[in-house]
Amino acid sequence: METIKTKVLVVGGGPGGYVAAIRCGQLGLDTVLVEKERLGGTCLIRGCIPSKALIHAAGQFEAMARVAEGSRFGISLASPPQLDFAGTVRWKESIVNQLNSGVAGLLKRAKVKVVQGWATFSDAKTCRVTAADTDVVITAEHVILANGSVPVELPFLPFGGPVISSTEALSLPELPKSLVVVGGGYIGLELGIAFRKLGSEVAVVETQQQILPLYDEQLVDPVRRWLKRNHVTTHLGAKAVGLGEGGAGLVIETESRERVMLQADRILVSVGRRPAVDGWGLEHMAVAMDGRFVRVDDRCATSMKNVWAIGDLVGEPMLAHKASAQGEMVAEIIAGHRRRFDPIAIPAVCFTEPEIVSVEGAAGTDLGDTIVATFPFQANGRALSMDGVEDGGFVRVVARKGDHRILKIQAVGSHVSELAGEFTQAMEMGAVLEDIAGTIHAHPTLGEAFHEAAMKGLGQAIHI
């Protein structure tokens, strides 16, 4: 059995783990990365990237289908577009493969040793890695746990057969004629909308009274309108009960306690994710827990000296970009830098139709006296020229009344995900309304709506 001794051991090759490993390598730290599957983790291999590829393909197909139904923008098609779903999946996989190879190349350039296999810890600094052709014991001075998360499985709807998670949804052999989505959060709605655009009949089951229940009604309303216009049935205040007789369809209980059978070729369960804490020896590492998550301080240090944890393993928000930022920080701390994880805001994006962006500061819901200014995309030239105002998007800025400090920025509309960087930068730099109003924004761009919202907050709006 081979034995490896290293300065840093990183467990997990997702956006937290591989970024941590690359930064360790850049800083001259001897580093080993263990990954049981493919480099890139959930985000790159079976989450963020493949879902956005599918969403893009679905949008292209829908646009052509709408043109085939009648001339749009002076463009017409003699016949409806044809979908080769297997070809769509192959194209999606080509994007994943390209990025996976890129991560491998970056790790190699940083002189990070990659060990393929499953790591099982016997103590806080020692693990055994096994695979078909691997049997290695690794000991390290520092351990960075970046194990990620897994989809939550409902006990009465276990994954298998027609019941799938987002992972299987992104690699289906054929397009389902009918799909029921259990869970009206961002994962379920992103995929449900994509499959609807591709031609599936889609229904959504949500226990709360609103889809995307973490957002306010005004922000969600454009998405709700798209779903209604495109005949996506939403069962709110309802809960899944189990499969129908013979495994056909899904039985739900409505708000009035009535049981209804929903026909479905596939049932996508998307009720959240949980940290991957099972099966790799966490119980042998003597680290404190915070509920289901590993407890860390503001440096991502666990209760065990020189054991660090990042990403989905340590709590909400369970987002790839949070994990990457934490991974980079921990690498620098190990190298002797003074760092702590204390962002002003972490952006959240829903790639629904239309998209939603929300960037909130640490103040959360306790904002005190505020100025709330909203600017509609109907008054934005770029949005109109992209036919991006059908469902009524907007940019909203919330600022403290006393000093005009921006506390929250939100937007809903076509392509607003590309504004997330500007929104977050404004929050991180402590911008006030005057800063945004005084910044010249290029015309015509969607970013002008942010500028106009800030001006409206000051009582100076020009185009509304």
Q: In DSSP terms, which residues pair with 151 in a beta bridge?
A: 273
Concatenated DSSP letters for 260-297? EEE--SEEEE-S-EEE--SSS-GGGTT--EETTEEP--
Q: Using an 8 Å Cβ cutoff, are 408 and 359 in contact? A: yes
* Sign of the C-alpha dihedral computed for residues 399, 400, 406 and 409 taken in this order: negative
Number of H helices, E strands in the chain: 12, 24
Strand ranges (E), 12-123 = 31-35, 113-116, 118-123
Token pair 């921006």 is found at 406
Cβ partners under 8 Å of residue 162, min gap 6: 243, 247, 264, 265, 266, 267
**Is residue 260 packed enough to be buried (19+ CB in 10 Å), middle (13-18) or exposed (0-12)?**
middle
Q: Which amino acids are annotated catalytic?
A: 443
CA dihedral 149, 155, 156, 162 (to 10 degrees): 40
Give a three-class secondary structure readout of 120-140.
EEEECCEEEEEECCEEEEEEE
CA distance 464 to 453: 10
What residue type is assigned to position 154 of the chain? L
Would strands 406-413 and 355-360 be described as parallel, antiparallel, or unpaired? antiparallel
SS3 label, residue 199: coil
Backbone phi, psi, residue 463, to 5°: -100, 20
Query: What is residue 357's DSSP assignment?
Result: E
